[in-house]
Structure 1
C-alpha cells in the first residue's frame, strides 16, 4: 500500500490515443500542462485517490528479457533523465495504441505524470503514472449571451469521480522487480490493460495467493457445484469458504478440502478442477499461504449467493453465515404442483 500525503506532481502532459483497429491517429502535446492551484489540487486527488487503498501490486514481465518490456524501459529512462519525459510519454501512448486490436477498445485522453514523494514501505520514492480517460460526461456550462441574459449549453468533460484506467510505476523494486500498481474501472477487455499494455503479473505474495485461491473457489462453485448440485449447495460452499478464510490465519490445501467436503469423490473433483484452473489461467494456486484479510474482504463482496427463481422470487444467502443455508433452508419437489420449492425457517421478520 502506498501513501500519498507528501506526493507532488512535477510533470504532467496530455495526449490523445486513437484506435488502430479503426485506422485512427494519435494526437500529441508538445508542452507540459501548467496548472493553477485549484486545478492542480483537483487533478492530484483525481489521479492518486484510487491507489490509496490498493494492497495488491504487480511486477513487470516479459517472455524473453524484462528489459524488453516497453513500460519498464520507458519509465526507467524517465527516472534516469527527466528531460526525456515528453518524448517517452509519447512512446507510452504509441505502445498503448498498438494494443487496440479490436473495435471495442476505446479511444481517449492519456495523462502521463511524474510524481515525487510517493511513500511505499516507509520509503519516499518517485513514480511515473499513466492514466487513460475513456468516458466523458455531459455537463451544463452557463454563459452570458449577447442580450445580457444567462443561458446554458451542454458540453462534455472528464468526471472527477473515478479514473477509468491508471497505473503507478514506482522507482523502487524488490526481489521480483519494479513495483507497479494498477486500476481498471472499465474492464471490458481483461487482457488489454494489464497484460498487453503494462505487461505485468501479480506479485508472488499473500495478497495474490489469497485472491487466486478465492477466485478459483468462485469458479469451481459456478462451473461444478451449481450445475451438479444447484444454487443452494453453491451458496453453502461459498459461505463455508469465506468462513474458513476468516477462521484461519493461513490456508492449508489438504485441511481446506477436509473441511469443505465429506466425501472423497468431491475432494477428487476439487483436486481435478484445481489442476484444470491452473492450466487454463496460467496461474499457480499455492497449497499453503497466509490469508490476506484485506483481499478477503474485497473478494467476498464479489461472491454471488442469491438464488433467483423463475417465479420472480429471489432468496439472498448471507456469505458470512455458512450455517444459515444448511440449517434453515430446504429444497424439495411438490408432486401435486409438479414444481420445485424452497422451505425457509425463521423466528420473525426483520
Structure 2
C-alpha cells in the first residue's frame, strides 16, 4: 500500500493516555522526542513498517458531516500548520481517552508523529501517525553495583516487534475522502479503535468488497451451515468458496450461488443470511466486483475447517482442496458402538 524508502519522522511526541472508566488522568509531554541516530532508525521502522503490506484503506466518516470527525479535523489542522503539532497531539489523546468507556480499555503510551516522504500510489506525501502501546515487555537490565560487580534487574519497556494499535492519516484524498491506514494487533474491542476513536469505514473498492463477501461466507458457514449440516459441510462450503474466488477474476453473486450450492433451499438460506449480515454490519454486499487476491490470501488463513471430536481426535480439512472432503471423508454411525464415525481414505501418511 505504501513505500517507506523516503519516509522521515520530522516530529514525534509521547503522551500517556488513561482510562476514563477508572477515573484516570492523561499525562502530556510538552517537548518533542529528541532521537539519537540509533533510536531514530529503530523508531522509524517500528512506526512505519506495519503499514507497508496493508492492502486495505479507510476513509473518515461521521453520522452528520465528515468535517465534524475529530481525528480528521486535528490531522487537517496539523497539515495546515505544523507549529500546532504539539497542541493537536494532545487533543488526539484526549479524544482517545473519551472513548475508554469500559474497564477493559487499556491505558498506555501514545506516540504521535509527523512523517514526511510517505509514498502512496506513486506520490510522495506526509502523514500524521497515532500509535498506542498497550503492552510492555519485561527485560533484564544489567548494572554495576556498589561492590563493582555486575547484577541484573527486571524492567519493563516497549517491544520493537510490533505496535498494538496504530494509524497513518495521509495528507492525500480521493473522491471518498482522506486516506487512512490502520492496524490493530490487540483487537479485544474492535469498536474502540476503528469505530469510536477513528470513526472510519473501509474504502469502497475491490479490497473491501472481497473482504466483506468472504466475511459473509465465513459467518454464514458458522451460524447456518455448521449447526444445520455439520462441520464437514461447513468445510466443504468454505473450500468451494475459496476455489470460486481463485478461479474467477470477478465475483458474480448469482453465478457464485449456482456454483457453490447444489440445492435451491441452500441458495435461499444464503440469500436470507446475506440480508441479515448487511443489516447487522451496516454494509452493502456487492453483487459484482473484482477479486482482490491479496485480501483473499489474508482472509483464507482465517477460515476454520478443523473438525474437533470428543475422542481427542481432530481432522483438518484443506481449504484449498474443495473436493477432498467429499471424495475421501465419509461420515456414518456404528450401531454396535452406538457412536458416530468418520472414515478417511488415503494412500500414504505424510
**What is the TM-score when the length of structure 2 is the normalising length?**
1.00
1:37 aligns with 2:27: no
**For structure 2, which runs of at least 5 residues remain unmatched after alignment?**
none
Q: Distance in 2 between matches of 1:137 and 1:121?
A: 36
Which residue is 2:227 aligned to? 227
Aligned to 1:342: 342
**Unaligned ranges ≥5, structure 1:** none
Map 1:168-187 onto structure 2 (within 5 A): 168-187=168-187
- The answer to whether the aligner puts 1:275 opposite 2:279 as a matched pair is no
Residues 61-102 of structure 1, C-alpha deviations (whole Å, 9 max, x = no match): 001111100000000000000000000000000000000000
- Please say if 1:312 is aligned against 2:312: yes
Partner of 1:108: 108
Q: Give 1:282 deviation, angstroms.
A: 0.6
Query: What's the secondary structure of 1:24's corresponding residue?
Result: coil
CA distance in 1, matches of 2:282, 2:65: 19
Per the alignment, in what secondary structure is the counterpart of residue 152 of structure 2?
Answer: strand
Please list, as runs of the form range in 1=range in 2, the aligned pairs for 1:1-350 lying within 5 A after superposition.
Answer: 1-350=1-350
Question: Alpha-carbon deviation of 1:247?
Answer: 0.2
Rounded to whole Å, the distance in 1 between the matches of 2:262 and 2:156 is 58
- Runs of 4+, deviation exceeding 6 Å: none
Quote how far apart the aligned CAs of 1:226 are: 0.2
- Which whole-Å CA distance do the structure 2 matches of 1:138 and 1:107 have between them? 17
CA deviation vs aligned residue, 1:20-74 (integer Å, no higher than 9, x gap): 0000000000000000000000000011111010010000000111110000000
Deviations 1:76-134 (A, max 9, x none): 00000000000000000000000000000000000000000000010000000000000
**Structure 1, residues 158-213: CA drift from partner, whole Å, max 9, x if none?**
00000000000000000000000000000000100000000100000000000000
Give secondary structure in 2 for the equivalent of 1:191: helix
The Cα RMSD (Å) is 0.4
- Output the CA distance in 1 between the equivalents of 2:282 and 2:68: 21
